[in-house]
Structure 1
Amino acid sequence: MTASPFAQQFRASPDLLAQSLDAGGDRVLVARMAEADYAKASFLDQRILTQDRPCQWFGWEELEAASGRLPATAQHIFHIGHVGSTLIARLLGELPGVFALREPALLRGLAELQRVRGRPESPWSPERLDERIGIALGWLSRTYRPQQHALIKATSFVSDLAPAILAQGEKALFLYVRPESYLATILAGEASIQELGALSGTRLLRLHARIEAEPWRLWNLSLGERAALGWACEMSALEQAAGAAATGQVLWLDFDEFLTRPAEALAACAAHFGQPLGEEQAAALTGGPIMTRYSKAPEHAYSPQLRRDVIAQAAREQAGEIGRGRQWLADAARDFPLIARALDRVARGEY
């Protein structure tokens, strides 16, 4: 049977993006994109759904039948949030062999289902969830040219899917910073503090599920302790995923270390993903305009020095809350080995 024109186009090109999931309706929103749209977008979420972008809902099974089982060959960047993941994805996306996708909403929807995996309220069985994660990764692995490899920069909480994604066999970069840098970054600005308020409850649920205990109550945690909770939640997700990864499958990178020697670090990331990047090209990329703009909103100027200044100011002004957060982490590490392993990893330095 000849495939329909839609099925042929969907299989052949990322021009039709499986953008987001409606789990209750068991359907997927497909949005029409161009290669330039991917290069421009910092987030492949609702922010790309402008009035002039053609979109259409398809039943999951209908889209699955049209696409067939595409190979899940995408590589990934997982991270703890506010650690330069968008910047590094943009830099790597400049390489001819990389097709970068930043924060696809489809994976966010699947990560939300992962949190209710096996529970009575889950719309999918665990087996169906695992199967559909692989199918979705196939959809997101399509590229514009045969020599390209898809590189997905995930949203931080999508790290809950990292074990299932790494089971596909492809490589990943794990980005983090030390707790003191993370706490100062989060407490430095109004927007990140608001984000902290929005995410802390879910992070506590995720962390409690991961450590299989419920020792903390959100209402008892100060602002600095909630920021520490965020670090512990996202770092323990990466730590747990690393425990199931094959040797050499994961490269850990401290973003603060990246900023001290960006050309060398970028070359190491490219090599990890099997992408050639010479010293001169790495220096040109890390010395170019991408490093001088705010990666999530390139219309705004930004720089490593500005980041250092903001963190230093927050370290002074929020010293009390940062101290409370660091003490919370120390206490948590004494009781829970997974958090202790995460702290030990950053103390050793992985890159």
Structure 2
Amino acid sequence: MAVGDLQSQQYLRAAFPNFAASPELHVLQLDPYREAAVVIGMSEADYRDASFLTEALATPERLGAPIPLFRVLEAVENAGERRPVHFIIHQGHTGSTLISRLLDEVGGFGLREPWALLTLAELYDKVGKPDSLVSEAEYGRIRDAMMGVWARRWRDGQQPVVKATSHAGRIGEDLLKSRASSKALCLNLKPEPYLATLLAGENSPIDLRGFGPDRVRRTIAAFGDVTPPMHALSVGELAAMAWLIERESQWRLLHSDGLKTRALDVDFEAFLADPQAILSRIAAHFDMNPGENAIREAVNGPVMNRYSKATEHGYSADLRRQRLDEARRTMAGEIGKGLKWLENAAGKSPYAREILNDAG
């Protein structure tokens, strides 16, 4: 990324007057240590092509520049109108990228896993603690500004939908409480197919161990002493912990008196069984009215037959079933360990038991 060069600065000066209304400048990174934000130029096609709005977008060919964070805050705060921005809160590997891309086809504007949302979640975790970089008021100001940034759209009637990372979904409750017009889709799987899905992935052991320390801390905070230490857990047990703690983030949305009418719970396998009906429900929940013809065209179009995170590769529900069946054969022992871990956690925590029993 040509950060800071003359061409970038000229581009930024030309585009920034429209910052509060247009997604043309994307906030790629929040850097609270430097009190800065990195913004890059993005077209609507760039957003549609991107599976993840992460540092990988910072290429030498893409214009961008760091700017003082206060400029982002003031630009959005001065915009006035607080438009809705909706969220996909998911457990990971539950079809969230596919749903996001399908919504793009029927009136959505997908922002898939914005890097800045992870930074926001990290700030939220520290608020009120002695080592917090920002005060509660400062965190709220940054959060509200980012909600305004993500609420921008290319045209009237388009509905912005942020697909959070599964890890950042932990602040979904805080995000929805901050904007009364925002809604959430809670996308999930039941424990056994979830474990099979995770354990089918080649990189899953690395991901599970990488996120393991934080998930252990979150699990103990939510449920108490329900797990052995991380070093004693197998990959199947780590996958079970991922299911429980990410489902807990959704549970708080689905059972909060102030939020439950704004959260829609969808099982991904139920979606695959009847994609047209479920996509229609999701679109309506997010205040989209594309019509049944548009829904039908979306679920019968190319999006359903491509791997959503790398669209150059083919994928299908049949191929997914084959991979899950293979995982059930080769990883039966680890799946069993994971289910046993959930059973033990439910035996120690009424809250965990309530969540697990609801899954059936």
Q: Which residue of 1 aligns with 2:135?
A: 125
- Is 1:25–2:37 an aligned residue pair? no
What is the one-letter code of the residue matched to 2:342?
Answer: L
5+ residue gaps in structure 2? Answer: 1-12
Contact 2:253 2:263 in 1 (8 A): no
Which aligned pairs between 1:195-344 and structure 2 lie closer than 5 A? 195-211=207-223, 213=225, 215-244=227-256, 245-344=258-357
Structure 1 residues 306 and 165 mapped into 2: Cα distance closer, same or farther (>3 Å)?
A: same
Structure 1 residues 199 and 247 mapped into 2: Cα distance closer, same or farther (>3 Å)?
A: closer
Contact 1:78 1:174 in 2 (8 A): yes
Aligned-residue offset at 1:159: 1.2
The secondary structure found in structure 2 opposite 1:51 is coil
- Is 1:80–2:80 an aligned residue pair? no
Q: 1:193 aligns with which of 185, 197, 205?
A: 205
Q: Which residue of 2 aligns with 1:66?
A: 75
Q: Which residue of 2 aligns with 1:93?
A: 104
Q: 2:121 aligns with which of 111, 114, 119?
A: 111
What is the one-letter code of the residue matched to 1:81?
Answer: G
What is the one-letter code of the residue matched to 1:21?
Answer: L
The secondary structure found in structure 2 opposite 1:216 is coil
> For 1:149-208, what per-residue CA distance to the aligned partner results, in whole angstroms no more than 9, with x for missing partners?
211111111111111111112111000001101111111121222211211122112222
Contact 1:78 1:175 in 2 (8 A): yes
Distance 1:132 1:306 in 2: 42
Q: Which residue of 2 aligns with 1:174?
A: 186
What is the one-letter code of the residue matched to 2:103?
Answer: L
Distance 2:292 2:43 in 1: 31
What is the one-letter code of the residue matched to 1:133?
Answer: R
What is the one-letter code of the residue matched to 2:20?
Answer: R
Distance 2:147 2:21 in 1: 15
Distance 1:241 1:338 in 2: 15
Contact 1:69 1:135 in 2 (8 A): no
Aligned-residue offset at 1:329: 0.4
The secondary structure found in structure 1 opposite 2:153 is coil
Aligned-residue offset at 1:58: 1.5
Q: Which residue of 1 aligns with 2:9?
A: none
What is the one-letter code of the residue matched to 1:91?
Answer: L
Aligned-residue offset at 1:114: 1.8
The secondary structure found in structure 2 opposite 1:99 is strand
Aligned-residue offset at 1:222: 1.3
Structure 1 residues 69 and 225 mapped into 2: Cα distance closer, same or farther (>3 Å)?
A: farther
Q: Normalising by the residue count of structure 2, what TM-score does the alignment of the two structures yield?
A: 0.91
Aligned-residue offset at 1:90: 0.2
Q: 1:55 aligns with which of 49, 64, 77?
A: 64
The secondary structure found in structure 1 opposite 2:266 is strand
- Is 1:152–2:165 an aligned residue pair? no
> For 1:83-123, what per-residue CA distance to the aligned partner results, in whole angstroms no more than 9, with x for missing partners?
0000000001112x321111111111101122222221110
- Is 1:39–2:52 an aligned residue pair? no
Distance 2:239 2:227 in 1: 17
Distance 2:56 2:28 in 1: 11
Q: CA RMSD in A?
A: 1.7
Structure 1 residues 154 and 205 mapped into 2: Cα distance closer, same or farther (>3 Å)?
A: same
Task: Give the count of matched residue pairs.
Answer: 343
Distance 2:94 2:314 in 1: 17
The secondary structure found in structure 1 opposite 2:38 is strand
Moved more, 188-197 or 285-294: 188-197
Contact 1:264 1:279 in 2 (8 A): no
Contact 2:29 2:115 in 1 (8 A): yes
Contact 1:18 1:140 in 2 (8 A): no
Aligned-residue offset at 1:7: 4.2
Contact 1:239 1:341 in 2 (8 A): no
Distance 2:16 2:340 in 1: 55
Contact 2:166 2:246 in 1 (8 A): yes
% identical aligned pairs: 37
The secondary structure found in structure 1 opposite 2:126 is coil
Distance 1:346 1:320 in 2: 21
What is the one-letter code of the residue matched to 1:177?
Answer: L
Structure 1 residues 115 and 9 mapped into 2: Cα distance closer, same or farther (>3 Å)?
A: same
Distance 1:47 1:191 in 2: 19
> For 1:27-78, what per-residue CA distance to the aligned partner results, in whole angstroms no more than 9, with x for missing partners?
1111111111011101111121111111111121132123335525201111
Contact 2:306 2:315 in 1 (8 A): yes
Distance 1:220 1:99 in 2: 43
What is the one-letter code of the residue matched to 1:305?
Answer: D
Distance 2:290 2:154 in 1: 20
